[in-house]
Chains A and B, each alone.
Chain A
Amino acid sequence: MSTVAVLIDHRDGAVTRPSLEALTLARSLGTPVAVWLGAAPGADATAQLGEYGAAEVRVVDGDNLRLSARAAAAVGAASEDAAVLLMISTFVSKEIATRLALATGAGVVVDAAGAELVDGKVETLQTVFAATWNVRSRIESDKAIVGIRPNTTMAAPAQTPGAATVVDIQVDLPETRERVVAVEAVEQGDGVPLAEAPVVVSGGRGTGGDYGLVGELAELLGGAVGASRDATDEGWISHEHMVGQTGTTVTPALYVACGISGAVHHRGGMQASGTIVSINMDPDAPIFDISDFGVVGNLFDVVPQTIARIKEHRGS
């Protein structure tokens, strides 16, 4: 079986769930090897990568791996033998994929919801035009790079774990013209990051800036808090929470829209979600066109009742 490299996303030394999803998908395409940028993973993370099938954990450490040209060189060195390279689709990984493709001649599909081998070539599935169309693409080149969206594969440990042998990869990273002048880490709350969350509860202009109920429902459902552009523009909630075509694209199993009209820009970032539920006072709000369950009503009446009923159900 051919080698399938997976660029692992990690936070505070822990493997993120989308990376486990990508490893799971990689097993259906060949033999997964994990590519780890930065200081080598600890024993727990290495063991987990093995559980999800990684035969090797290839570590490339170096300065300024935030710059895409350097990251691309690092990933390239660690995935030379791989016919397929999977990454989690993010703005940064798309840049790495682009640089690497130019260096290697690989074909690239990003924002994919799945990938499979058909007659020896990688085919991918995507949803486009605000998730109103399904597209199947074929990567014709010998090397394929695929950016996978979180929540599109069910992460599951391998039946036979991989050896997860740690291999240090030495590579001279290129000098870049770009300089990192400052990096300020964004405070990550306790909850799951928006892009990875299995449930997203979003509030828009209709919240009037009060995210108490939205936050409470999100916590109850084990989800993350999202927002519309109008809400982040108002400064009610930080930019990182924005869902939409120019914000974060989310595909959770459940999306709850509270006081969001459903503008095309917003829909583009959430329309591929599993189940969509919305609460809006305007019966003609476009969000209802894509909602599995819509409530025409005031979110300040409806949401507390929903929270109470769920708590009551769990208590019983």
Chain B
Amino acid sequence: MRILVTVKHTPDLQSQRSFTDGHVTRSAEDGTMNELDENAVEAALQLVEAAGEGEVYALTVGGPDAVAAVRKALQLGAHHAIHVCDDAIAGSDVFGTAKVIAAAVTKVHEEAPLDLVITGMAALDGLTSMLPTALAAELDWSQLTLASALSVADGEATIERHLPDAHETLSAPLPAVVSVTDEANKPRYPNFKLIMAARKAPVAQWSLTDLGVDAATVGSGAARTSVVDASERPPRENRIKVTDTGDAGTQLADFLIEKGLA
């Protein structure tokens, strides 16, 4: 079983997140691996452990700091790490990013075939959830998204997914791109031995040239959308906080009635 997991370097949810020049501000200090990608790494490790053989590749695309994301995946137990880093990638939209990841996946797949690419359900900084679909389409592989359960047997992957209107079971032949939700599993904690090993583990560094991707087709120049303005929302004004001394429920009702909400 050979699985590649995509991981993204994103600002820590608890940090002050912001925009600079129309892009999410990223820095080494408060950056981390996208929390939801932990579920993707976990899903890959569990499949390899269950199969009793196999390898997990962690792949990230991003600036120099993004290497922290694949190091985190190594700490969790991934066997190999790849960091695609090229100035020309900066400012890519989801389609540019998918093109770069697809090229890197293809490079690994050509060395020895992969069974699966597993991604998180969304990146908690952008949350568009579009990348898995874009990647599957670029690769022309099967697409199984939002899995809350995933199994592989007889050359097929099967997932369950919970949509607001229906619970679905979908199957598709390998190789497949699968995105897993945070309900798919409980990510493990890194163990000390792996943390130490991850520090020294090699991380393959690939550029667009290594991948044969034309720089003009990615990056901000090729992006179909651009941020024209980003501003911090002002905090809510005139907030009221009361401590219940017996009539707070009534005060709350009066507040709603006065606002025309009840």
Give residues in A with beta carbon < 8 Å to B.
11, 66, 68-69, 90-92, 94-95, 97-99, 101-102, 105-111, 123, 127-141, 177-186, 188, 193-195, 199, 220-221, 239-240, 245-246, 248, 253-254, 264-265, 268, 275-277, 279, 283, 288, 290-298, 301-310, 313
Q: How far, in whole Å, are A310 and B249 apart by their CA atoms in the complex? A: 10
**Contact flags B126-163 to A (C-beta < 8 A → 1, else 0):** 11111001100110011111100000000000100011
Q: How far, in whole Å, are A101 and B249 apart by their CA atoms in the complex? A: 50
Q: How far, in whole Å, are A181 and B161 apart by their CA atoms in the complex? A: 12
Q: How far, in whole Å, are A168 and B162 apart by their CA atoms in the complex? A: 31
Across the A-B interface, the 9 shortest Cβ-Cβ residue pairs: A305-B249, A297-B244, A107-B224, A309-B253, A302-B249, A181-B169, A136-B229, A182-B169, A98-B133
The B interface is mostly helix, strand or loop, or mixed, namely: mixed
Q: How far, in whole Å, are A305 and B253 apart by their CA atoms in the complex? A: 8
Pairwise interchain contact A310-B256, C-beta atoms closer than 8 A: yes
Given A135-B230, A283-B243, A302-B252: A108 in contact with B130 (beta carbons within 8 A) = yes
Contacts of A268 in B (CB 8 A): 124, 127
Q: A69-B143, A199-B261 are in contact. List 11 more A-B contacts (CB 8 A).
A: A136-B229, A177-B176, A181-B170, A183-B168, A221-B262, A294-B240, A295-B243, A296-B243, A301-B244, A305-B249, A313-B257
In this complex, the member of A182, A245, A246, A253 whose beta carbon has the largest number of chain B beta carbons within 10 angstroms is A246
Q: How far, in whole Å, are A246 and B127 apart by their CA atoms in the complex? A: 9
Set A111, A127, A296: member contacting B233, Cβ < 8 A: A127
Q: How far, in whole Å, are A184 and B166 apart by their CA atoms in the complex? A: 5
Given A91-B163, A132-B17, A133-B232: A296 in contact with B225 (beta carbons within 8 A) = no
Pairwise interchain contact B252-A246, C-beta atoms closer than 8 A: no
Q: How far, in whole Å, are A90 and B256 apart by their CA atoms in the complex? A: 30
Q: How far, in whole Å, are A97 and B169 apart by their CA atoms in the complex? A: 22
In this complex, the member of A11, A134, A253, A298 whose beta carbon has the largest number of chain B beta carbons within 10 angstroms is A134
**Contact flags B166-186 to A (C-beta < 8 A → 1, else 0):** 111111110010000111000
